[in-house]
Amino acid sequence: FERGLLAGRHILINAGPTREAIDPVRYISNHSSGKMGFALAEAAAEAGARVTLVAGPVNLPTPARVQRVDVVSAQQMLDACLAALPADLFIASAAVADYRPDACAEQKLKKTPGSDDGMTLTLVRNPDILATLASHSERPGFCVGFAAETQDVLGYARDKLQRKNLDLIIANDVSQSGIGFNSDDNAVTLIDRDLTSTHLPQASKQKLARDLISRLATRLDRH
Ligand code: PMT
């Protein structure tokens, strides 16, 4: 792993979950810990890049020489990613909530007294951060997505690669225990634009991140 590999490059990475407020004390979110994205930011900084890490709410220390921007919601994450452009490489490792409540109640929601009725939340679509950056006038030179899937992992990943106009997608089978959301290890399959795929077997997220960063550096140089 060569230290000057990404010298002079600006790498933008997002990581962690987003939180979509229901009322002042409740939200919709997911199990992303941010570990994968933080490991990528650390490896990119070690490789000599200038790194901007846009982080959802996570409990992780900021890697050395990484510029961190903390956000909560998907809309805030989109705004922070747009504000960080231009970038040579964008890696979207965040687990962005696809939907948010149509409005955040001003006061804590109360149960209806004397009633056992359920309640219905109306959700609206969040912006797609990756698709927005990949079709932007200041599109990062190389756009990389993750595809977290529980079935037909490679099929859905190929579909996202094409639909979101990406240069590469990292397919992540999140149905397997011990890898994916919130674990210390991961195992992924890279799918390039020409649909060639490369499997990287289970390893710590740190080790995998270094491997991914050196593979991405090679692709950036060829690009
Ligand atoms: O954070 P960890 O605990 O370490 O776990 C890592 C991880 C499993 C979260 C990570 O490896 C991973 O797979 N991240 C992507 C999670 C995800 O939401 O995937 P998706 O298949 O729903 O989305 C596809 C791509 O579009 C992703 O790059 C995602 O960041 C992006 N996206 C999705 C929805 C949206 N509204 N905006 C987006 O940018």
Instruction: Judge whether 127 is annotated as a binding position.
Output: yes
Tell me the residue type at 50: R
Residue 217 neighbours by CB distance under 10 Å: 21
Distance 146 CA to ligand 1 centre (A): 5
Mean pLDDT for 116-121 is 92
Q: pLDDT tens, 29-44?
A: 999 999 999 999 999 9
Is residue 108 very low, low, confident or very high in pLDDT (cuts 50, 70, 90)?
very high
- What element of type H or E holds 69? strand 66-70
Q: What percent of the chain has pLDDT over 70?
A: 100
pLDDT of residue 3: 77
pLDDT of residue 170: 98
pLDDT of residue 2: 75
Unique residue bearing structure tokens 């939200």: 27
Domain boundaries, the chain: 10-104+122-222
Instruction: Judge whether 98 is annotated as a binding position.
Output: yes
Q: pLDDT tens, 69-88?
A: 999 999 999 999 999 999 99
The catalytic residue positions are 30
Does 10-104+122-222 carry CATH code 3.30.70.370?
no
Residues in the ligand 1 pocket, defined by CB under 6 Å: 16, 32-36, 74, 92-96, 98, 126, 128-130, 145-148, 160, 172, 174, 180-182
pLDDT of residue 223: 84
Q: pLDDT tens, 131-186?
A: 999 999 999 999 999 999 999 999 999 999 999 999 999 999 999 999 999 999 99
Cβ-based neighbours of 13, under 8 Å, separated by 6 or more: 37, 40, 41, 44, 51, 52, 53, 54, 90, 91, 93
Comparison of pLDDT for 67 and 3, the residue scoring more: 67
Instruction: Judge whether 159 is annotated as a binding position.
Output: no
pLDDT of residue 65: 97
CA atoms in the 13 A half-sphere facing the CB of 46: 17
| The model scores a pTM over 0.95 | yes
pLDDT of residue 132: 98
pLDDT of residue 183: 95
Substitution candidate for ligand 1 out of 58, 77, 146, 151 with most atoms within 8 A of CB: 146
Q: pLDDT tens, 184-221?
A: 999 999 999 999 999 999 999 999 999 999 999 999 98
Angle at 217 between CA 181 and CA 149, to 5 degrees: 25
- In this structure, the residue with its CA closest to atom 27 of ligand 1 is 146
Distance 17 CA to ligand 1 centre (A): 8
Closest atom of ligand 1 to 157 CA is 21
Is residue 127 very low, low, confident or very high in pLDDT (cuts 50, 70, 90)?
very high
| Residue 60 scores a pLDDT above 80 | yes
